[in-house]
Structure 1
Amino acid sequence: MADSGKDAKFFQRSKVDELRTELNADKKDRGWVRKKAVLKKIIANATMGNDMSALFTDVVQCMNIQVLEIKKMVYLYLINYA
């Protein structure tokens, strides 16, 4: 129960343009940490009812990443918007 508020930061309303910029940033992202965080924000916003369909092509491009956690988040996104 100590970690219950750990993911609360992802459930803040975000703008689509900001999320797209963060998702496409080609900074050195060791372990895909930034990409995972942005995908969590996108899924959280979709869960809250915000329209994230404008990010469809950007999220689908993440399917090339061979990290299971990222693939699961992309599939969650696709279930909502495909």
Structure 2
Amino acid sequence: MRFAVAVAVSVIAVITLLTTCEATSLPAYCLLPKVTGSCNQLYSRYYYDTKTDSCTHFIYSGCDGNKNNFRTYRDCKRRCNNW
């Protein structure tokens, strides 16, 4: 009985560790929130959306953004969604 409990706890620990490692293997900039900026330009951009695990289109104003801001869908996918 104790052996079965120890095995079950070990399996749960390994699954938790693997899940945590998967979630944190993305580059830090991919985890940043979408920032549209505060200027008046209209640039078509893509950001990595952690909620949907995909690259999503948005309009960037041209300033005050962050590194989760890619000119093309392909670039976003290559940097953040290929993990």
Same fold (TM over 0.5): no
TM-score, structure 1 as length reference: 0.23
Q: Structure 2-normalised TM-score?
A: 0.23
> Which structure shows the higher helix fraction?
1
Say which one has the larger Rg: 2
The structure with the greater share of residues assigned to strand is: 2
